[in-house]
Amino acid sequence: MSAERVLLVIGGGIAAYKCLDLIRRLREQGVAVRCVLTAAAKQLVSPLAVAALSGEKVFDELFSLTDEAEMGHIRLSREADLVVVAPATADLLAKMANGLADDLASTLLLATDKPVLVAPAMNPHMWAHPATRRNVERLRADGVAILGPAEGDTACGEVGAGRMVEPAELLRAILARLRPGPRPLQGLRALVTSGPTHEPIDPVRFVANRSSGRQGHAIAAALARAGAEVMLVSGPVTIPDPGGVRTVHVETAREMAEACLAALPVDLAVCAAAVADWRPETVPAQKIKKTPGGSPPTVRLVENPDILASLARHPTARPRLVVGFAAETGDLEAEARAKRAKKGCDWILANDVSEGTGVFGGTRNRILLITGEGPAEPWPELAKEAVAEKLVARIAEFFARRAS
């Protein structure tokens, strides 16, 4: 599932600075934010700061040739899941209520087919003025959600209703609209491992595998969306940290094991990392050099700790549900059942990683779920994000059954 998208229209009020904090918080939650600044907003916040925080191009001109060539204003208004106007000035509210479209912000607001949430900010007298009252009533009748304004000191020195709500409150309102579904894993702590591990041979060389971390990261993100408090322990990957998840970066299997054990106690653990089974026994401090006429070096390997097994067999803090993966190239079901018994985990998601399946490093996965209850459950080939959603739904069922 791709990230939720917010189109944030920043109006020209002093409270525009609060939008920088809002953008940061939204991105922490994994929400993509595209920003549009009105001409007045550009006087109050720097488009450069907005672009840096949002990680996206900032739009401000209706008739900028490049903007129109790259992305028309209609598309810009439709690509978001939610349009947020903050701060919504008296002028912006008046334009919206009357359907005016004389700049990019007002044109987008007229062209959008998405829900709109506005956070007004203005002088208390402007807010109380009958014209603003009429405009707000009309916007409410049009289905626009109005959040605030809050009471208190305003930038102009007058006290009353007119302050923009704080970023934390705006964030809550936005997330409630973007993620209205139930949060079945609320209150549960989850640990996820993801990616490969790198096992050094010398200071410049290492043993690794083709894992991209996509499946583990998608699971961590899906667990967080379902309300769990998630700690992700990731080996070296090139994909970004998922939003709303605490990510710890490690290199080796031993570092991964240490980080996982330090995360206990947790309610559930999903081990999706492709942990290197072995590591070079000794790692010289200097780079191994070729000696003229000499034979190639021999690297002696020793076994790494088995993280999944050490969680599943933990003497005092075993998670209530321990889920592993089984990457196999032989008889999938038989190998996976044997692995489940050997490691002591509750569920195994078996996948065929034979050459040509493209699972390792790819974007799709075909799972055979073995829970130990009933027959193995073959899932169709799915995008790794969809596998994550399906697994999280099963995990939610498990905890719901336990609770009842």
State the Cα–Cα distance between residues 312 and 314, nearest whole angstrom: 6
Q: Does 389 bind ligand CTP (CB under 6 A)?
A: no
We find the least distance from the C-beta atom of residue 308 to ligand CTP, in angstroms, to be 4
Residue 326 binds to ligand CTP (criterion: CB under 6 A): yes
Is there binding between residue 269 and ligand CTP (CB under 6 A)? Answer: no
Considering the complex, what minimum distance in angstroms separates the CB of residue 345 from ligand CTP?
Answer: 8
Q: What's the closest the beta carbon of residue 324 comes to ligand CTP, in angstroms? A: 3
Q: Does the protein bind ligand CTP through residue 325 (CB under 6 A)?
A: yes
Residues 328-387 touching ligand CTP, rule: CB under 6 A, are: 339
For the question of residue 260 being annotated catalytic, the response is: no
Question: Does residue 7 interact with ligand CTP by CB under 6 A?
Answer: no
Minimum Å gap between C-beta 326 and ligand CTP is 5
Residues within window 193-222 making contact with ligand CTP, judged by CB under 6 A: 193
Choosing from 19, 35, 156, 345, the catalytic residue is 156
Q: How near is the Cβ of 314 to ligand CTP at its closest, in Å? A: 13
Answer yes or no whether residue 271 interacts with ligand CTP by CB under 6 A.
yes
Smaller CB separation from ligand CTP, 201 or 327:
327
Q: Which of 308, 332, 387, 391 binds ligand CTP (CB under 6 A)?
A: 308
Given candidates 117, 307, 312, 395, which one binds ligand CTP under the rule CB under 6 A? 307
List of residues contacting ligand CTP (CB under 6 A) = 193, 253, 271, 273, 275, 277, 304, 306-308, 324-327, 339
Active site residue ranges: 156
